[in-house]
């Protein structure tokens, strides 16, 4: 059908919708078109904007086979009370089928205080596990083979200290640092913007981060040296566009700092990773994931001259949205998390944590954690969403939304540059 005829048909359709569509307060201000057609992706360039999975610009995914090759890492975030208590939860998760660990540390640990410090009073073991010494770290991973499991640690200001402890525990187990797999969050910029667990001013904090990049590139080569985090920015109230724009802008700052420290972009960029939030608007979230990969690939290639494909790949861990959970009718949160899981999977995440139904009330029970993990497993094995790479690629709506998010996020980045 000729575009002009199609445009006329759309105008007629929109007129009909204005007359017939339900006008409730919730749906009064939807920013989306009522229907999407080829008109909405006019000028779309397959090679420039889409390509094949595993190929630049990675819109469709960072691996050619994605989940046909292997599922995402089912990385459940946990940590509370003492190292002994958290160790029991980690072992339970592994026995239940989790394929990666994610460590939550309490606030005193996150800002460098021992548990017996007066400043730590009332916060020890809350929102995470208390780690004061190498002995605590040994207890935390007792009976867990660090050569087989990959571990993510949500730690920022004291990231170098916790990573050093982890390496020491592994070496005591007989696992060399060259074989360790995992991630330290190590993203201090979002702490100033959205979260608050910083210790030092920005300049020395950035130096610590680039020191870690340099050290790990030589001695812990399989380790992801930073997880550049949009999750907390979204939880603090940003939109989907702002989440990826501000986070990728942080990523640009880290790359620039590493280059200024004398590192070659292709020696460290392949170990940078990102951390996205998965909200309830399933298709917008899918488009966000796809746009973020294209955005990062374009920036790394055109702005920083990266040569290695891995340096241009935006690899992402995802967590379902804590801010979307309600304390009322908590069983409804299971449905929310299932939708958010579907969004992350269709968006092409590399690892995923699913929140538990009762987290708006307290630390989740073992039964709730099991349901959260089973949600991932049901999506993986029973839904068919993992059978096809980029299942929504080519959708007029998803491609139009991907382009729109890309353009809006790039506009924010240019504004930040200025």
DSSP string, 259-289: HHTT--HHHHGGGEEEEEEE-S-HHHHHHHH
Work out the burial of residue 373: count CB atoms within 10 Å of its CB; fewer than 13 is exposed, 13-18 middle, 19 or more buried: buried
**CA 365, CA 333: separation in Å to the nearest integer?**
14
Q: Which of 219, 217, 79 is nearest to 153 (CA)?
A: 79
Q: Which residues contact 239 (CB under 8 A, 6 or more apart)?
A: none
Alpha-carbon distances, residue 185 vs 51, 92, 150, 247, 259 (angstroms): 30, 24, 14, 13, 20
| pLDDT of the residue at 400 | 94
Contacts within 8 Å (CB) and 24+ apart, 39-42: 39/3, 39/6, 39/7, 39/10, 40/396, 40/397, 40/400, 41/396, 41/399, 41/400, 41/403, 42/3
Secondary element (H or E) of residue 78:
strand 73-78
Q: What is the DSSP string of 316-331?
A: EEEEE-GGG--SSSTT
Look up residue 247 and give its two tokens: 């986070």
Q: What angle do CA 156, 199, 195 make, to 5 degrees?
A: 60
The span from the first CA to the last CA of the chain, in angstroms, equals 43
Q: What is the pLDDT of residue 42?
A: 81
Q: How far is CA 377 from the centre of its chain?
A: 19
- CATH 3.90.1150.10 is right for the domain spanning 46-78+185-417: no
Nearest to 133 by CA among 116, 150, 156, 157: 116
Which tokens is 281 given? 């608007």
pLDDT value at position 13? Answer: 77
Contact between residue 208 and residue 254 where contact means Cβ atoms under 8 Å apart: no
> What are the beta bridge partners of residue 153?
103, 184
Low-confidence ranges of the chain (pLDDT < 70): 1-3, 20, 22-31
Tokens found for residue 330? 């908590």
The residues pairing with 278 across neighbouring beta strands, listed in sequence order, are 320
Residue 286's Cβ-side half-sphere holds a number of Cα atoms within 13 Å equal to: 22
Provide the sign of the torsion angle of the four alpha carbons 175, 180, 182, 187, taken in this order: positive
Residues 65/75, Cβ–Cβ less than 8 Å: no
Tokens of 383: 């839904």
Peptide bond into 57 cis (omega under 30): yes
Q: What is the distance between the alpha carbons of residues 355 and 373, in angstroms, rounded to a whole number?
A: 9
103, 153 Cβ separation under 8 angstroms = yes
Beta strands, E only, 177-284: 182-184, 223-224, 226-229, 272-278
Whole-angstrom distance, CA of residue 21 vs CA of residue 356: 36
């Amino acid at each position: 059908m000729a575009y002009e005829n199609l445009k006329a048909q759309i105008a007629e359709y929109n007129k009909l919708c204005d007359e017939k569509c339900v006008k409730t307060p919730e749906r009064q201000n939807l920013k989306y078109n009522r229907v999407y057609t080829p008109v909405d992706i006019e000028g779309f360039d397959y090679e420039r904007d889409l390509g094949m999975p595993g190929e630049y610009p990675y819109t469709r995914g960072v691996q050619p086979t994605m989940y046909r090759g292997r599922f995402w890492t089912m990385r459940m975030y946990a940590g509370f009370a003492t190292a002994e208590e958290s160790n029991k939860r980690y072992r339970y998760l592994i026995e239940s089928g989790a394929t990666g660990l994610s460590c939550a540390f309490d606030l005193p640990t996150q800002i460098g205080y021992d548990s017996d410090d007066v400043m730590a009073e009332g916060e020890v073991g809350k929102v995470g596990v208390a780690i004061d010494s190498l002995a605590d770290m040994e207890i935390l991973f007792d009976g867990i083979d660090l050569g087989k499991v990959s571990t993510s640690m949500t730690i920022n200001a004291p990231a170098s200290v916790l990573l050093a402890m982890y390496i020491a525990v592994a070496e005591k187990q007989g696992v060399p640092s060259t074989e360790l797999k995992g991630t330290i969050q190590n993203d201090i910029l979002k702490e100033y913007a959205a979260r608050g667990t910083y210790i030092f001013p920005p300049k020395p904090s950035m130096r610590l981060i680039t020191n870690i990049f340099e050290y790990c590139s030589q001695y812990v080569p399989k380790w992801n040296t930073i997880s550049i985090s949009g999750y907390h920015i979204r939880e603090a109230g940003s939109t989907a566009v702002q989440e990826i724009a501000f986070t990728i802008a942080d990523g640009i700052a880290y790359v620039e700092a590493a280059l200024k420290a004398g590192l070659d972009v292709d020696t460290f960029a392949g170990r940078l990773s990102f951390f996205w939030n998965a909200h309830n608007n399933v298709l917008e979230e899918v488009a966000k994931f796809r746009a973020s990969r294209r955005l990062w690939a374009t920036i790394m290639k055109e702005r920083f001259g990266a040569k290695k494909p891995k340096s241009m790949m935006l690899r992402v861990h995802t967590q379902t949205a804590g801010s979307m959970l309600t304390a009322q009718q908590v069983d409804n949160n299971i449905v929310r998390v299932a939708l958010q899981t579907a969004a992350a999977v269709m968006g092409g995440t590399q690892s995923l944590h699913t929140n538990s139904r009762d987290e708006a009330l307290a630390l989740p029970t073992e039964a709730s954690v099991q349901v959260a993990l089973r949600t991932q497993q049901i999506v993986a094995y029973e839904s068919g969403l993992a059978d096809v790479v980029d299942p929504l690629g080519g959708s007029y709506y998803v491609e139009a939304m991907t382009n729109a998010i890309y353009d809006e996020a790039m506009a924010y980045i240019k504004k930040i540059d200025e």
